[in-house]
Structure 1
Amino acid sequence: MKLTLSAAALMLSMTPATAQGWQQVLDQARGQTVYFHAWGGDQRTNDFIAGVGDVVLERHGVTLQHVRIADTADAVARVLAERAAGRDTDGSVDLVWLNGPNFLAMKDQSLLHGPFVADLPNARWLDLSDSSPNSVDFTVPVEGLESPWRLARFVFQYDSARIAAPPADMAGWIDWTAAHPGRVTHPDPANFMGATFLKQALIELAPPGTDLSVPPTDDSFDAAAAPLWDWYDALRPHLWRDGRSFPENESIQQQMLNDAEIDVAMSFDPAAAAAAIADGQLPDSVRVHVPAAGSIGNVSFVAIPFNAAHQAGAKVVADALLDPAIQAHMQDITVLGSFSVLDPARLDGEGQAAFAALPTAPALPTLADLGPVLPEPHPDWMTRLTTAWQGRYTR
């Protein structure tokens, strides 16, 4: 993986004061090993992170160590335990891949270093306005405490050789599953993908005027969720295995789609279907479907804990993740296929050319195909949804 902008050219494009500050970061970072705690359940993502490690080692002498975790909450718990033990420096987590509830937990407990994002040279390519998805994480203002690195959108995958496109809205799934009994399921809501399926339905089905951007009270949750539970009660008998057993995660669900055990799967990566087809993990007849009103979208971020031992190195890695060459490489479906967080209008000609040269595929939607972005509800909604679902349907 090669960067299109040399380190020297990047420094020349900065103001003298900013360039001097960033040079100090680079000097401090050289020789550091950055322990990046990030979900390790996807090999393509793991390979991409390893490629970024090659870049920062070659350019800046920073070693990137991917600490593969199954749950981000484990990294949050480690930082919290270190603070409780008085370990306010030399922490074991230098950089962490955060989203939503975990970011809120770390922010509320003052476990984050920063703000630091505006000081990253490659932040120039970002839209960091208050209304940008780069500035809000599950309705919680980011305030520079975490840096974006990839876009996510909730989508359905279906085999067009077996079925027509799924329903245009979540309400339509009741009749659709009744006509296709046992051919649809969702991951267990203990997994974020299953929880997102419920959140997508909540957004569409909640009574008009429901404000999902604020934490729910007992009363507001019950009122908002009542139509959702009515919907799910009608849907459940038509799900795979009568809605009494669920795949653990989206990877297992994708395998079920490939094996023709079900006809529809779901993902938070619009390019996942095209990438899986290219890898021989899905038939080439699989296509992507998005509800007519749009789907939940968010940004994946990286953050630096307050006690990180190698904060300078972590900033170098966060900045590298925003380099236009690396972002274009990431969006390549033969590499990872995750959509970029950069603002195309801010890119120079070289950056725009890198994205224009990316390959396409029949199963790869464009940004226009994905339609409107529905904002994530406040993290407390997901917590309550998953707890309530377990109480209602796992007894």
Structure 2
Amino acid sequence: MKFPLVLVLSLLATPALADWQQNLDAARGQTVYWNAWGGDARTNAFIAWVGEQTEALYDVGVAQVKLTDTAEAVTRVISEKAAGQDTGGSVDLIWINGPNFLAMKEQGLLHGPFVNDLPNARYLDLGPASPASVDFTVPVDGLESPWRQAKFVFTYNSTRVAKPPRSMAAFVEWAAANPGRFTHPDPSNFMGSTFLKQALIELAPDVSILQKPVTDAGFDAATAPLWDWYDALRPNLWRGGETYPENQSVQQQLLNDGEVDIAMSFDPASTAAAIADGLLPDSARVFVPESGSIGNISFVAIPYNAANAEGAEVVANFLLDPVTQAHMQNIEVLGSFSVLDPSRLDDAAKAAFADLPTAPALPTLAELGPTLLEPHASWMSRLTEEWARRYIK
């Protein structure tokens, strides 16, 4: 779906804050070097579209610096600071999350706070417990701006599974009734560790402890029910739990080949996209646990020494426009769910989302349920290490 330029302009041209026009004037003619993971063609195409729009609207260009690892950009900023290059830096905008954000925040490498200065921030829920305000338990403090949402979901073959398990605890009973028809990626892979974290959040006696750095005593108490659950689940996994798919793509292939009935993803739109690409059967559908599932938000941050900080703010603001977010959520474009708070949208913005194309395997925002916060990053390494100690011989 392409949105007419005049429609975008009508939503963006009026500054929400008195000094926003000054920022627009300073940004004119700048090219923003957006350092972003370059491994997904649809994301790259969306970033190129963003650049076309900001160039036409504001004379602000976007040049994507395609990364294989976000740490590449972080290292570049650290090196520039060590060399005394406190202005004119080579990185203007970074797609960033988690440990990389924490590292830059702790070392004073970020521009801002700037998010509250963006006119389109009025569409965000920036409450202290909102996913838009917390990045892997680290308070954002206005130093990075959200732009796309990820959420953990399960994919199942609806011709074989009439009632998928709607809680992590229920997977034990389901797997016992359907031995060999479920597995998960190896927890050394992000998707496999997310599966364990999802179960940990549901089963931990005190979930609040997961938002704090892990301790030995806290880890033992929180994970005891998890290991009991996994001990009951493992014998009925695919190949008896003796081997695991390397990653999400391999497990998706197992689902497509009919070897398993359930797979998983961190992209709610990935199932519909895979069906369209012939990578999953038309009968594939999405479900999430009734209590919700882990979600996180992808952010953009501006380094402290960015050469084009004003232009980077313009791009960050454009990413938050409801029309931009609706374009991004379009399954034919990117399919990433919006970071905006639906209750803050006006009728025109709500209509932009309501008019998006649908697909049988594309869940609605309501169907995705509550978003559960990621545990503190220190829990992930302890969790995967302990899993390997217990189950890898």
TM (normalized to structure 1)? Answer: 0.90
Q: Distance between the aligned counterparts of 1:228 and 1:148, measured in 2?
A: 32
Structure 2: which amino acid aligns with 1:22?
A: N
Q: Distance between the aligned counterparts of 1:69 and 1:240, measured in 2?
A: 35
SS of the residue corresponding to residue 170 of structure 1 reads: coil
Aligned to 1:179: 177
Select the residue among 352, 355, 362 that pairs with 1:354. 352
Aligned to 1:170: 168
Select the residue among 66, 72, 91 that pairs with 2:64. 66
Q: Which moved more, 1:37-46 or 1:355-364?
A: 37-46
How far has the Cα of 1:55 moved from its partner? Answer: 1.5
Q: Distance between the aligned counterparts of 1:91 and 1:364, measured in 2?
A: 41
SS of the residue corresponding to residue 89 of structure 2 reads: coil
How far has the Cα of 1:344 moved from its partner? Answer: 2.5
Equivalent pairs counted in the alignment come to 391
How far has the Cα of 1:4 moved from its partner? Answer: 5.4
Aligned to 1:23: 24
Select the residue among 220, 244, 257 that pairs with 1:246. 244
Q: Tell me if the contact between 2:191 and 2:266 (Cα under 8 Å) persists in the aligned partners.
A: yes
Q: Which moved more, 1:241-250 or 1:50-59?
A: 241-250
How far has the Cα of 1:144 moved from its partner? Answer: 0.6
Q: Distance between the aligned counterparts of 1:321 and 1:180, measured in 2?
A: 44
Q: Tell me if the contact between 1:148 and 1:341 (Cα under 8 Å) persists in the aligned partners.
A: yes
Select the residue among 47, 50, 53 that pairs with 1:49. 47
Q: In structure 2, do the counterparts of structure 1 residues 19 and 108 end up closer, same or farther at CA, with 3 Å as the change threshold?
A: closer
Q: Tell me if the contact between 1:79 and 1:91 (Cα under 8 Å) persists in the aligned partners.
A: yes
Aligned to 2:198: 200
Q: In structure 2, do the counterparts of structure 1 residues 186 and 219 end up closer, same or farther at CA, with 3 Å as the change threshold?
A: same
Structure 1: which amino acid aligns with 2:387?
A: W
Q: Tell me if the contact between 1:158 and 1:165 (Cα under 8 Å) persists in the aligned partners.
A: no
Select the residue among 249, 255, 264 that pairs with 1:257. 255
How far has the Cα of 1:294 moved from its partner? Answer: 1.4
Structure 1: which amino acid aligns with 2:297?
A: V
Q: Distance between the aligned counterparts of 2:249 and 2:312, measured in 1?
A: 29
How far has the Cα of 1:229 moved from its partner? Answer: 2.4
SS of the residue corresponding to residue 89 of structure 1 reads: coil
Aligned to 1:272: 270
How far has the Cα of 1:38 moved from its partner? Answer: 2.2
Q: Tell me if the contact between 2:201 and 2:207 (Cα under 8 Å) persists in the aligned partners.
A: no
Aligned to 2:288: 290
Q: Distance between the aligned counterparts of 1:35 and 1:243, measured in 2?
A: 45
Aligned to 2:376: 378
SS of the residue corresponding to residue 376 of structure 1 reads: coil
Structure 2 matches for 1:20-169, cutoff 5 A?
20-27=21-28, 30-32=29-31, 34-169=32-167
Q: Tell me if the contact between 2:158 and 2:285 (Cα under 8 Å) persists in the aligned partners.
A: yes
Structure 2: which amino acid aligns with 1:243?
A: G
Q: Distance between the aligned counterparts of 1:361 and 1:9, measured in 2?
A: 28
Select the residue among 213, 216, 227 that pairs with 2:214. 216
How far has the Cα of 1:319 moved from its partner? Answer: 1.5
Q: Which moved more, 1:313-322 or 1:35-44?
A: 35-44
SS of the residue corresponding to residue 211 of structure 2 reads: coil
Aligned to 1:14: 16
Structure 1: which amino acid aligns with 2:23?
A: W
How far has the Cα of 1:391 moved from its partner? Answer: 4.0
How far has the Cα of 1:316 moved from its partner? Answer: 2.0
Structure 2: which amino acid aligns with 1:61?
A: D
Q: Distance between the aligned counterparts of 2:340 and 2:11, measured in 1?
A: 19
How far has the Cα of 1:287 moved from its partner? Answer: 0.8
How far has the Cα of 1:85 moved from its partner? Answer: 4.1
How far has the Cα of 1:224 moved from its partner? Answer: 1.0
Q: Distance between the aligned counterparts of 1:394 and 1:306, measured in 2?
A: 44
Q: In structure 2, do the counterparts of structure 1 residues 66 and 183 end up closer, same or farther at CA, with 3 Å as the change threshold?
A: farther
Q: Deviations over 1:198-236 (max 9, x none)?
A: 110111111246521111212111221222223223333
Q: Distance between the aligned counterparts of 2:385 and 2:305, measured in 1?
A: 32
Q: Which runs of 5+ in 2 are unaligned?
A: none
Q: Distance between the aligned counterparts of 1:305 and 1:242, measured in 2?
A: 48
How far has the Cα of 1:295 moved from its partner? Answer: 1.0
Q: In structure 2, do the counterparts of structure 1 residues 196 and 242 end up closer, same or farther at CA, with 3 Å as the change threshold?
A: same
How far has the Cα of 1:387 moved from its partner? Answer: 3.3
SS of the residue corresponding to residue 156 of structure 1 reads: strand
Q: Deviations over 1:271-307 (max 9, x none)?
A: 2212222232221101111112111122221111223
TM (normalized to structure 2)? Answer: 0.90
Q: Which runs of 5+ in 1 are unaligned?
A: none
Q: In structure 2, do the counterparts of structure 1 residues 240 and 271 end up closer, same or farther at CA, with 3 Å as the change threshold?
A: same
Q: Tell me if the contact between 1:11 and 1:19 (Cα under 8 Å) persists in the aligned partners.
A: no
Q: Deviations over 1:156-197 (max 9, x none)?
A: 000111223331211222232233333322223333222211
1:188 aligns with 2:190: no
Q: Tell me if the contact between 1:149 and 1:301 (Cα under 8 Å) persists in the aligned partners.
A: yes
Q: Tell me if the contact between 1:56 and 1:62 (Cα under 8 Å) persists in the aligned partners.
A: yes
1:316 aligns with 2:318: no
Structure 2: which amino acid aligns with 1:222?
A: D
Q: Which moved more, 1:382-391 or 1:93-102?
A: 382-391
How far has the Cα of 1:367 moved from its partner? Answer: 2.0
Q: Distance between the aligned counterparts of 1:209 and 1:31, measured in 2?
A: 46
Q: Which moved more, 1:335-344 or 1:255-264?
A: 255-264
How far has the Cα of 1:244 moved from its partner? Answer: 4.1
Q: Distance between the aligned counterparts of 2:100 and 2:342, measured in 1?
A: 29
